[in-house]
Amino acid sequence: MPDIPNYQTLMLPVLRHAAEGEVTIPAIIPKLATEFQLTPEQLTERIPSGGFPVLNNRAHWAKTYMVKAGLVEQVRRGVFKATDRGRQLLVTKPSRVDNRTLSQFAEFRAFTGRHASPTTEASEAILDAVEETKTPAERIDAAIREIEAEIEDELIDRIFAIPNQTQRAAFFEELVVQLLTAMGYGKGLDGAARRIGGSGDGGVDGVIHLDALGIDRVYIQAKCYEPQSSVPEREVRDFSGSLDSKKTTRGVFITTAKFSGPCRTYIESIHKPIILIDGRELARLMLRYNVGVREDRAVVIKRIDEDFFEA
């Protein structure tokens, strides 16, 4: 009986199915099972934590790694298809697609932290040696970083999975208020944080009272823009100006997009303590403060108790 293929072995067949059009992992699982001659028992075998079936989990990671390499793209939640780059790779009729194949693409190297392109046998040997010399603890840490990076990307994708733009904007405004509350702002004060976005909001989307009387306040601007776009400098200037009408100087501007150099230069040139949080930092903070995520499982790693063995 053949073993369940590892995620690298699954990359090529997953890419082939994605080249046929929009697909989902559940839809291609029966095809993968047939291709690799897997038994019904193998299809129901689950990962050690008891979560997803092993084959589904590995196919998911095969897809995720190829997304990072630009071979496939997420069309919408759970749905993906091959990109032009992925189709061009298939034209070369590769016998296998794996991490070494993906490492030729800068996007994948940036994701995994690999900076040397394995274009020669020597560089491939170096890459293998680096991987093999990692300690178990280093491999665990690296795996955690990869999982967290994938979750961070998906957090932003989930925000944009809300199709209605007005509903998405309202959801995002509420999200940033919850995030700042989770970070400890307004902690212990009932109703300290609230969303005030909408018409007549005076150029702000939320407010957090830092004291019981509401004397010390932080105002929030939340802009749900496309992740690859940049916030215009004028919007940061307008937000700064809106704080004057609120009789405060403290503000937090949070976006799913990026801040251009001029935006950051402007903030550094003024005396108001305004914090800029872009999409990447937003995702990291959501992960760190458990906003939109929950604990999956905990792994206990033990070590020798030196005190126990002291004479």
pLDDT at 148 over 60: yes
pLDDT at 132 over 60: no
pLDDT at 131 over 70: no
| Count of structural domains within the chain | 2
Other beta carbons within 10 angstroms of residue 139's beta carbon come to 11
In a domain, residue 56? The reply is: yes
Q: What is the average per-residue pLDDT within 182-210?
A: 73
Verify that 105 and 26 share a domain, yes or no. yes
CATH code, domain carrying 187: 3.40.1350.10
Q: What is the average per-residue pLDDT within 170-197?
A: 82
Verify that 90 and 187 share a domain, yes or no. no
- Round the average pLDDT of the chain to a whole number and report it: 83
Verify that 284 and 169 share a domain, yes or no. yes
Q: d(Cα 151, Cα 254) in Å, to the nearest integer?
A: 19
Domain hosting 202: range is 165-288
Task: Please give, one letter per residue, the 3-state secondary structure of 203-260.
Answer: CCCEEEECCCCCCCEEEEEEECCCCCCEECHHHHHHHHHHHHHCCCCCEEEEECCEEC
Domain end call among 133, 150, 179: 133
Residue 122 — very low, low, confident or very high, per pLDDT cuts 50/70/90? very low
In a domain, residue 233? The reply is: yes
Verify that 129 and 180 share a domain, yes or no. no
Least confident range from 53-57, 187-191, 215-219: namely 187-191
CATH code, domain carrying 111: 1.10.10
Verify that 177 and 260 share a domain, yes or no. yes
Verify that 129 and 177 share a domain, yes or no. no
Verify that 20 and 83 share a domain, yes or no. yes
In a domain, residue 119? The reply is: yes
Domain end call among 84, 117, 133: 133
Which residues neighbour 158 within 8 Å (Cβ) at sequence distance 6 or greater?
A: 77, 292
Domain end call among 133, 151, 179: 133
Residue 118 — very low, low, confident or very high, per pLDDT cuts 50/70/90? very low
For 227-254, the pLDDT digits (tens) are 889 999 999 999 998 888 777 778 999 9
Q: What is the average per-residue pLDDT within 119-132?
A: 46
Verify that 129 and 169 share a domain, yes or no. no
For 39-95, the pLDDT digits (tens) are 999 988 887 666 678 899 899 989 989 999 999 998 887 889 999 999 999 999 999
Residue 21 is predicted with a pLDDT of 93
Pairing of strands 251-255, 206-209: unpaired
Residue 114 — very low, low, confident or very high, per pLDDT cuts 50/70/90? very low
Please report where in the chains the tokens 């997420």 appear, as a residue. 74
In a domain, residue 141? The reply is: no
Residue 311 is predicted with a pLDDT of 58
Q: Three-state SS for 278?
A: coil
Strand partners, 221: 253
For 268-305, the pLDDT digits (tens) are 998 888 999 999 999 999 999 999 998 877 777 787 77
Q: What is the average per-residue pLDDT within 213-237?
A: 87
Residue 190 — very low, low, confident or very high, per pLDDT cuts 50/70/90? low
In a domain, residue 123? The reply is: yes
In a domain, residue 101? The reply is: yes
- 161-168's contacts with Cβ under 8 Å and 24+ in sequence apart are 161/76, 161/77, 168/224
Verify that 210 and 272 share a domain, yes or no. yes
Residue 70 is predicted with a pLDDT of 94
In a domain, residue 205? The reply is: yes
Residue 133 — very low, low, confident or very high, per pLDDT cuts 50/70/90? low
Verify that 170 and 110 share a domain, yes or no. no
Verify that 96 and 210 share a domain, yes or no. no
Verify that 82 and 172 share a domain, yes or no. no
In a domain, residue 301? The reply is: no
Is 272 in contact with 219 (CB distance < 8 Å)?
no
For 68-78, the pLDDT digits (tens) are 999 999 888 78
